[in-house]
Amino acid sequence: MKKIQIVPALLLASALGTSPAFAQYIYAGSASGSYTNDFCPEVENKLKGAYFEHRCTTSQGTGDNVDKVLADPKSVGLGQLDGVAERMMKAPGKLAMVDPSLGLECLYAVTSDPKVDRLKGLSPRMPVALPSEKSGSTSTFRFLQSLDPGLAELRKIKHYPSAKAAVTAVANGDAALAFFVQFPNTKNEVFQTINDAELSFVPVINRAILRHEIEGTRVYQPQKVVVTPTGLMGKLTGGEPTRIDTTCTPVVLFTGNPMGMAEGNERDDQQEVLKLLATVPRPSKGDWSDIFSNAVKYSKDKFDELMAKYGS
């Protein structure tokens, strides 16, 4: 099995079948999400510039995108590195992944219980709200359960249509904890719901998460992440937004591996798609420059401090 390495080109290679005859898609996320509205158009424009006819379409998230690209290898998917890489290991050689440095999605947990300040020592009866079963959030949470026996014991898990719906369940008292993965965009309605309901953020970070690797690639990185907007008054008075320690994972693009396709135009076209995906720019409109600055990577010394603080 080949080693997964984050490079601006192929990360995995091997065999797969031919694609259907219909037009290819770029599988993004929910109709209201950032993948669909901000990231996917950048991918579509890049491919259209080389006369490919891929078009953006909605999906249930990372897990759903992987399933769809496996079934239609000439199409493209967006997703979280952790979820995509895990699935690639289960279907070796079927997909190729690129990391064009689009940014990070971060792991969040929120609660209405003031006694919960970390994801340790939770009651197995605690009701937990997650986004849909095929979402990247659910894929990540299941992986965290494989790393943490305490999380694995949680048995009252209910899925909701979106991250906002899962958070709203906590705000309404229908769940005690919500978990989701999202860009650090404090203007997003999910964060607005959290802050309006005065829910507490719980750090999603521990030694097992920080040290997790897939074939030599570390898929998580600790970040200091902004979770409340500064607001006009904060800017006028010099007030600082609230920041938390948590874990983030890169946003990647993936498609079918060209090496399993027929030699000639089909394989050449797919290799060209991969080259183009590696050059997709970050979205630059609206608040994205601020969003990208909302997550700050820790220095080596700070990383060691985190390992000591959240090591267990």
Longest dimension (CA), the chain: 63
Of 119, 106, 125, the residue nearest 149 (C-alpha): 119
Residue 184 covered by a domain: no
Contact criterion met (CB below 8 Å) for 10 and 258: no
Residues 6+ apart with CB under 8 A from 33: none
d(CA 175, CA 167): 9
pLDDT value at 160 more than 60: yes
Residues 6+ apart with CB under 8 A from 4: 11, 12, 85, 88, 89, 97, 214, 215, 216, 217
Of 7, 9, 64, the residue nearest 36 (C-alpha): 64
Owner of token pair 């219980």: 113
- Per-residue pLDDT band for 311 (boundaries 50, 70, 90) equals low
Residues 6+ apart with CB under 8 A from 143: 82, 83, 86
Higher pLDDT, 182 or 169: 169
**Tens of pLDDT along 254-294?**
999 999 899 999 999 999 999 999 999 998 887 787 788 88
pLDDT value at 134 more than 90: no
Relative to beta strand 95-98, strand 243-256 is antiparallel
87: domain CATH number is: 3.40.190.10
Count H helices and E strands in the chain, helices first.
13, 14
State the pLDDT at residue 233.
Answer: 37
Residue 38 covered by a domain: yes
Which amino acid is located at 310 in the chain? Answer: Y
Contact criterion met (CB below 8 Å) for 73 and 256: yes
pLDDT value at 52 more than 70: yes
| Gyration radius of the chain over CA positions | 20
State the pLDDT at residue 185.
Answer: 85
Residue 80 backbone phi and psi in degrees, to 5: -80, 140
Integer angstrom CA distances of residue 282 from 25, 31, 42, 100: 20, 19, 8, 8
Residue 263 covered by a domain: yes
Domain around 49? 25-103+250-288
- Per-residue pLDDT band for 8 (boundaries 50, 70, 90) equals very low
**Tens of pLDDT along 74-127?**
999 999 998 898 888 888 899 999 988 898 999 999 999 999 988 888 999 999
State the pLDDT at residue 257.
Answer: 95
- Per-residue pLDDT band for 230 (boundaries 50, 70, 90) equals low
Mean pLDDT of 24-30: 94
Residue 19 covered by a domain: no
- Per-residue pLDDT band for 237 (boundaries 50, 70, 90) equals very low
- Per-residue pLDDT band for 239 (boundaries 50, 70, 90) equals low
d(CA 45, CA 287): 20
Q: What secondary structure letter does DSSP report for 271?
A: H
Mean pLDDT of 5-33: 58
State the pLDDT at residue 74.
Answer: 96
Residue 197 covered by a domain: no
Range in 12-16, 64-68, 216-220, 232-236 the model is least confident about: 12-16
Which amino acid is located at 137 in the chain? Answer: S
Higher pLDDT, 251 or 13: 251
Q: At what angle do helices 62-71 and 136-147 cross, to 10 degrees?
A: 110
State the pLDDT at residue 19.
Answer: 39
d(CA 188, CA 183): 9
Residue 109 backbone phi and psi in degrees, to 5: -135, 140
- For residue 227, what are its two tokens? 């979770």
Owner of token pair 């965009």: 185
Mean confidence (pLDDT) of the chain:
85
Residue 273 covered by a domain: yes
Residue 67 covered by a domain: yes
- CA 16 to the chain's CA centroid: 25
- Per-residue pLDDT band for 161 (boundaries 50, 70, 90) equals very high
**Tens of pLDDT along 182-226?**
988 888 889 989 999 999 999 888 777 877 877 677 788 888 889
Contact criterion met (CB below 8 Å) for 280 and 100: yes
Residue 47 covered by a domain: yes
State the pLDDT at residue 290.
Answer: 78
Contact criterion met (CB below 8 Å) for 107 and 140: yes
Of 211, 202, 195, the residue nearest 109 (C-alpha): 202
Number of domains in the chain: 1
Of 97, 163, 151, 93, the residue nearest 124 (C-alpha): 151
